Chains A and B, each alone.
Chain A
Amino acid sequence: MYDLIIIGAGPAGITAAVYAARKRMSLLVITKDVGGQAAISGDIENYTGYQFITGPELAAKFEEHMRRFDIALKENEEAVELKKIDDKILVRTNKVSYETKTAIIASGKRSRELNVPGEKEFRNKGLTYCATCDAPLFSGKVVAVIGGGNSALDAALQLIKIAKHTYIINIASSLSGDAIMREKINESEIVTVFNNTQVTAIFGDKMVTGIKIKREGKEEDLAVQGVFIEIGLIPNSEFAQGIERNQSQEIKVNCHNETNIPGVFAAGDVTDVPEKQIIIAAGEGSKAALSVFRYLARA
């Protein structure tokens, strides 16, 4: 049985792992990928100590730091269930089951899906949730970005440099997101913004050939070869049995990162802590590990 299992290896999970390793806990880190959302962020200019660093570079630094310690890391493994039975916490993954005295849930968030016909079918066939990864493949093509917030504007600004034309399909009456980004969008002649517009389906043959949109009560087809879905994030919290969540499905924690289940802690974007920032997630991860240390000392 482990002292601690950390689920997730983004900024929160990695920082928790570094702190736990320095406390010499018997430790396992289970994660789908290393770096989390930080690894797919663009430019980062607000992580203290780095005036400028890209997401992949900062994620690589985090990983390098974690790997300095001899930490058991299970990559490409995803927690599908976490539950407390008596004094033990059981973590079941898509591969095996583990037992531990404590757990830190640092599983972050994932892209929200549109839930329209064609979305699953055309995933990676012209439809993507990661503009940073896939935008260069749409060189010279006509594309649509779904969403109206910062991540949608960020995707559109990346695409301006690459695509022939970019549509922004926004369900709200105007774009939100930072003013500086909105100005750049408005200045571009190769971007068309459709506000008050809903996407009702994605269609194509082998690859995406278009989307169905509904505006002013009318449905119409829009021919596009690429669809970038940027409509926000949802927490990866479903696997934790009996855990208290808020309305947004974020795990509720107190200032010691304790959840309602003794021995189960949580940190980073998966929690209800306000402001989703890399530096906050990292700080919360360290706090969670120190809380675990105190909990184990009391037990």
Chain B
Amino acid sequence: MSVKLNTRQVGDVNVIDVAGRITLGEGSSALRDTIREMVGKGQKKILLNLGEVSYIDSSGIGELVSGFTTVTNQGGQLRLLNLTKRVKDLLQITKLYTVFDVHEDEAAAIRAFV
């Protein structure tokens, strides 16, 4: 299964529910396009729900970083929700875990946006 993205709005926060594989090619470009489209519309509070992500490679990690810098450079915020053990391990060994604001509870994550 490739990546599947579903977007929804909770208050002024845009939640992207990501499922499947974020890998080089379709998976990572779909995520990139969705984040850039949101930022282009001025939607700069983005919560990436990665709870259903089964696989992520170095390209996918790069897209998370790229999304983070794109949103941050536009004065917005990008937070992560529901990391699987696999994604969490990868972010830890690449020292990116502390770069992102990571949450396990959606309501708390939504409240964290200012």
Q: Do A and B bind each other?
A: no
